[in-house]
Amino acid sequence: MRPTASAMKAEMHHAATPPESLWSKGWYRLAKPLASPNHGPRPGLTPTDLVVIHSISLPPGVYGGPEIEQLFTNTLDWDAHPYFQGIRGLQVSAHFVVRRNGELLQFVSCDDRAWHAGVSHYRGRSQCNDDSIGIELEGLEGESFEAAQYETLVSLCTALGQHYPIQHIAGHEHIAPDRKKDPGCGFVWEFLQQNLGWPASYFPESVRRA
C-alpha cells in the first residue's frame, strides 16, 4: 500500500495547513460536503473521543455508484434494486465516506450526531452515536480496501485527532459485536496503527500491535 504521487502531494498540503484552518463548524475543508438531513445535536455530556470505522457498498459489492450518497440524503430509489427492499425507509448517515479511489465525502458536521452506530457500547459507554465520529469505507465487510482509502483515512484521522479529543478508534464490529462485522478481517489495522502513531491504548485490544 504505497502512497500515490497525488496522495503524497495532498499529504504535503495537509501538513503545511494549520490544523484549525482545516475546519469550519465541524466541516472538514478537504472533504466534499453533501449535507444529510439524518443527524441531530450531541447530548454534550461527554467529549467526542471515538472514531468508528465502517464499511458500506450499495448494492453489496457494487462500487462507484451514487447509491451511498442517495441513502444518506434520503433520495435512494427503493425500487431500483431488489436489495433495497430490505432497507426501504432506512434513515442513516455517517460523518464521512471514503470512496475506493480515496475521494472523501462529508455528510454531517462532526459537531453533530450522525446516525451510524445504532445500538452500541464501547469504552464503558452506550449509544456511541452520542460521542463518536463515523467513517464509512466504500467496501464489503471482510474484503480488502484500496491503498488510496488508507491514505485518506490516515490524513482524516490525523486531522480529527488535532481538532477533537480523540482517544479511541474502533470498528463497527467492536462497538456492536452482536450485530455488526464491519469493516471485517480485510481491514489492515496494523497499517493504521503504524501510520497514525497513536498509542496502542487507542485501538481495540483485539487488534493492537504487540
Return the active site residues. Answer: 136
18 preceded by a cis bond (ω within 30 of 0): no
Please state the pTM of the whole predicted model: 0.91
For residue 52, tell me if it sits in a domain.
yes
- Considering only CA atoms, which of 183, 18, 12 is closest in space to residue 192? 183
For residue 6, tell me if it sits in a domain.
no
Low-confidence residues of the chain, pLDDT below 50? 1-13
Domain, as residue range, for 120: 31-207
For residue 190, tell me if it sits in a domain.
yes
For residue 136, tell me if it sits in a domain.
yes
As given in the structure block, the three cell numbers for residue 167 are 482517544
- Considering only CA atoms, which of 81, 75, 80, 79 is closest in space to residue 93? 75
For residue 4, tell me if it sits in a domain.
no
- Considering only CA atoms, which of 131, 127, 139, 132 is closest in space to residue 182? 139
Output the pLDDT for position 80: 97
CATH of the domain at 131: 3.40.80.10
Output the pLDDT for position 210: 60
Tally of domains in the chain: 1
Site of grid cell 484500496: 146
Output the pLDDT for position 209: 78
For residue 134, tell me if it sits in a domain.
yes
